[in-house]
Structure 1
Amino acid sequence: MTEKILQVSEMSSADIIKQFTAMNQKLSELAEYVKPNNSATLLSPKEVMEWLSITPPTLNDWAKKGILNRYKLGNRAFYKKEEIMANLDGTKYANKL
């Protein structure tokens, strides 16, 4: 990557605007190559239970049956919101999603 130094003090306002326009265009081109991190939204068990209005035994039962995928980080469990929505779409809980 090359480095260019601009001396703004000796430039007219039109030249400055032209330079910023060029930089903005370059940034837009670079933005096309950078994909946003589509990491999943992680929910705690408590958040899932509140969201779906279910009890702890129901949540644990669904995790054991594979209806909801539980992800562990240390001794904490998390659920991916997108997976919950996909797994429960078409069920009686779909209106809560």
Structure 2
Amino acid sequence: MDNLILTTYTPEELTGIIHTAIKEAVKDIMPVNTSTPSEKLLTRKECADKLKISLVTLNDWTKRGLIQSYLIGGRVLYKDSEIEASLYKTQTTKY
């Protein structure tokens, strides 16, 4: 059997020990959040300005599925990282 040593702790020390043990137990159980917590959201105007297109073109691209939009509280927003990812490099050939 393990040796048992009894010591006296102040209420503050005991609270700190319990708090630390609970934090470690919860950290092991809770899933790790892999998304960036500070994901920048752009309004329609900001997104159109960034892409240098009109709001009509932005609406058309959204309806065609070229750009993913999100509806939050009646507002249409775009994730900055997805706008950057939707851009792709084209290769021009010289004849």
1: CA distance, partners of 2:47 / 2:41: 10
1: CA distance, partners of 2:69 / 2:83: 10
Segments of 5+ residues of structure 1 without an aligned counterpart are 1-35, 93-97
More helix by share: 1
2: CA distance, partners of 1:77 / 1:37: 24
SS across alignment from 1:72: strand
How many residues are treated as equivalent by the alignment?
79
Alignment RMSD (CA, Å): 3.5
Segments of 5+ residues of structure 2 without an aligned counterpart are 1-32, 91-95
1:45 is aligned to 44
Amino acid at match of 2:48: M
User: Which structure would you say has the larger Rg?
Assistant: 2
Provide the TM-score with structure 1 as the length reference.
0.52
Moved over 6 A (4+): none
1:39-94 CA distance string (max 9 Å, x none) = 32110001011111100110001100111111001210100011111111x257xx
Identity, in percent, stands at 39
Provide the TM-score with structure 2 as the length reference.
0.53
